[in-house]
Amino acid sequence: MLAYLIRRLIAAAVMLVVIIVVVFGIFFLIPKWAGIDPAANFVGKQADPAAIEAVRQKLGLAEPIHSQVWEFFKGIFAGRTYVGGGDVTNCAAPCFGYSFRTEQEIWPVLMDRFPVTLALALGAALLWLLLGVSAGVLSALKRGSVWDRGAMVIALGGVSLPIYFTGMVSAAIFIYGLGWIDGQFVPLEESFSGWMGGLILPWITLAFLYAAMYARITRATMLEVLGEDYIRTARAKGLAEKTVISKHAMRSTMTPVLTMLGMDIGALIGGAILTETTFNLPGLGQAVLQAIRTQDLPVILGVVLITSIAVIIANLVVDILYSVIDPRVRLA
Amino acid sequence: MTDTSKNAGSTTDRGTAVGEPAAARPAGGGAFLDVRDLKVHFPTDDGLVKSVDGLSFQLERGRTLGIVGESGSGKSVTSLGIMGLHTAGQYGKRKARISGEIWLNGTELLSADPDHVRKLRGRNMAMIFQDPLSALHPYYTIGQQIVEAYRIHHDVDKKTAKRRAVEMLDRVGIPQPDKRVDSYPHEFSGGMRQRAMIAMSLVNNPELLIADEPTTALDVTVQAQILDLIRDLQKEFGSAVIVITHDLGVVAELADDILVMYGGRCVERGPAEKVFYEPRHPYTWGLLGSMPRLDREQQERLVPVKGSPPSLINLPSGCAFNPRCPYADIPKDDVTRTVRPELTEVGSRHWAACHMGQEQRERIWTEEIAPKL
């Protein structure tokens, strides 16, 4: 078990380094191929060549790619000092550089937005896990019944309707129609009830989509597991049916659900762009959308890296949980 | 049973087989396991699948009954029926229709409260399955699974139950049982897994043990060990054992009595030596002829039973075996295709269901079949 853990941790660390290098490489090459001068971009319109040159010096854009990657990599772990154009700027670790648009340091901006996205992703995940898994299990146990068919029709709706549709409809009803909530995001530090009020609709909207997918996979897996020989063995032992389901069948059913959960949460932490835009939540998704519109490469780079890290960590957690559930994984 | 009306062409309704001692027995009395006119039918979109259609047999403690027959003859369905596993947890599926009587030690199981039957499962009757890898839960250790089986029926703490598990693993010949008890099924070899499965099924000293193809998934070298183990354990625990197999070799090793099934019914039943040396049904001859033997000349070819197993939805009318039977035309008046043969006594405790006259069958066996085996 310990050996397995260490192997997984090392693999995760290696993956992280590879991602940083590759992602930086891509973002270094894109402006080059697109014929955009990042330095000119940074300085803005009507810049004189001297200012552009100064920025180029300061950001090290004239250096060869390997030394730029190295500087960027070092910046993340040890901080970075930009020297050029007559002044010195200190960027503390983890340094992801500066926004071309706002000229703000990227890391604090991202960290400002991160809790919003995290709360959105985790809250929705909790909700869809509860809803999706229980609906899926019930559907499987009552296969062919009115309940099963009804739940599966709703689930089909859930996977087919886009977030901006369900989100708009729920906003129209609960914010503008009934007026139960005002729909404004309030940071947790200011007011818990306000925070809940701002997130409840995004949670439900996001959870509806995912709960539908989870209900379908849970139902399918549960039906498959119920046909397994070891379930028959459990009954042959004289186990009560509810123990057969809750202990023997559930444990096997949870493994694919867990795999999905890890990937989904990881991807959502990188920003639920549609949900955040629909509900105007100041999360990472919204930030990256703005950055894409304005070609603010360093911000995009930062968000991509955070997403990657989130996916890696989520997968690491899933791998560990997986090995707790399924002993065969520990050998692999 | 209105179902039989669907079966166009079958003239006689099955009724209780002639010569079956079960018919005369008073309810609840008699043999330790007494199955009477068991029918297990499955409704499907294509029609009613009559997997078992009027099966009767008895089994005493300390005796072994071998049920043989090809795939789809109703062997496994019978065993699951006795265990009550056709009705437990069939979610949303169309329910199997089961009728007849199954008396276990004076209790009729089909009419009993399902929860009562559940409590008998594992304690009074236990089962060994064909493939021990898929029959054991991959996520629990061998020990956890045996402990669970024991604690369902015994109010003991986990420590005591684990001691019992180690003891059982030791008994079935697993080396270092105190260490292996914490292993997972995938860490065991096939033979070891089946030993563990046997340990689990015997942990509550069941009076009835059903082994459904216990050696089919195992290496040949391991098969003999497992069969020896089952035999030894039966002697030790004095349980009644049903061995279900398509392998006559397994039956020869273990069984006191043999029941040959074809198309959901019994075609021949009797003491093992009778069924092996004086079989009185053409299907049994076919099974014996298709059994490989080391003492036979290599040039001689095995004789398979020609044709394929009958459709259980629409059994051939008359004798279900008639389309495959080389002797189907011997009885007069096309009786093999119109009248279903009943089991008739052909010797002491030996029954067969065939339209041919007894002398005729005796002659065919001694003159045509036996010399070639």
Query: Is the predicted pLDDT of residue B4 greater than 50, yes or no?
Result: no
CA distance A249 to chain B (A): 10
The pLDDT tens digits of the residues spanning B33-84 come to 999 999 999 998 888 999 999 999 999 999 999 999 988 888 989 999 999 9
Q: With respect to residue B259, please indicate whether it lies within any of the assigned structural domains.
A: yes
Select from B186, B362, B225 the least CA-distant residue to B285.
B362
Q: Pick B92's closest partner by Cβ from A143, A245, A248.
A: A143
d(Cα A244, Cα A226) in Å, to the nearest integer? 9
pTM: 0.81
Q: What percent of chain A has pLDDT over 70?
A: 97
Residue B60 belongs to domain with CATH number: 3.40.50.300
Minimal Cα–Cα distance from B91 to chain A, Å? 5
- Examine residue B184 and state whether it is found in any structural domain, yes or no: no
CA distance A110 to A107: 5
Q: Is residue B311 part of a domain?
A: yes
B194 inside domain: no
> Which residue of chain B is at minimal alpha-carbon distance from A255?
B139
Instruction: Give the per-residue pLDDT at A28.
Output: 73
The pLDDT score that the predictor gives to residue B334 is 84
pLDDT, tens only, B292-310:
766 666 656 677 788 888 8
Reported confidence tier of residue B24, pLDDT bands at 50, 70, 90: very low
- Confidence at B5, pLDDT banded by 50, 70, 90: very low
Beta strand extents in A114-229 (DSSP E only): none
> Cβ contact (<8 Å) for B184 and A143?
no
Let me know if residue B182 belongs to a domain.
no
Q: Is residue B32 part of a domain?
A: yes
Distance CA A62, CA B261 (A): 86
pLDDT value, residue B10: 37
Digit-coded pLDDT (tens) for B303-352 = 778 888 888 888 888 899 988 988 888 888 888 888 899 999 998 899 99
CA–CA separation, B99 and B315 (whole Å): 19
The pLDDT value given to residue B295? 66
Task: For residue B353, give its domain range.
Answer: 17-124+206-372
Yes or no, beta carbons of A235 and B121 under 8 Å apart:
yes
In terms of Cα–Cα distance, which of B251, B318, B315, B240 is closest to B279?
B251
Per-residue pLDDT, B181 = 95
Give the helix/strand (H/E) hosting B42. strand B33-44
Are A143 and B118 a contacting pair at CB < 8 A?
A: no
Look at residue B147 and tell me if it is in a domain. no
> Number of structural domains, chain B?
1
For residue range B171-223, what is the model confidence (pLDDT) as tens digits?
Answer: 888 999 999 999 999 999 988 999 999 999 999 989 999 999 888 878 888 88
* Residue keyed to tokens 């087989």: B17
pLDDT in tens, B240-292: 999 999 888 888 888 999 999 999 999 999 999 999 999 999 999 988 888 77
Q: Tell me which residues of chain A have a pLDDT lower than 50.
A: none
**Chain A residues within an 8 Å CB radius of B244:** none
Measured in angstroms, the CA of A309 and the nearest CA of chain B are apart by 30
A223: nearest Cα among A159, A149, A138, A152: A138
Q: Which of residues 182-221 of B touch A (CB under 8 A)?
A: 184, 186, 200-201
Query: Which residue ranges make up each domain of chain A?
Result: 2-91, 107-331
The helix (run of H) or strand (run of E) holding residue A87 is: strand A87-91
| Residue B116 lies inside a defined structural domain of this protein | yes
Cβ <8 Å between A226 and B89: yes
State the residue for tokens 């997972």: B184
Instruction: Give per-residue pLDDT as tens, B122-166.
Output: 999 999 998 888 999 999 999 999 999 999 999 999 999 999 999
How close, in Å, is residue A150 to chain B by CA atoms? 15
**Band of the pLDDT at B15, cuts 50, 70, 90?**
very low
Class of domain A107-331: mainly alpha
Q: What is the pLDDT of residue B162?
A: 95
Task: Kindly provide the ipTM of the predicted complex, given to two decimals.
Answer: 0.84
CA dist., res. A310 & res. B57, Å (int): 65
CA-nearest residue to A229 within chain B is: B135
Tell me, yes or no, if B137 comes closer than 8 A to chain A by beta carbon: yes
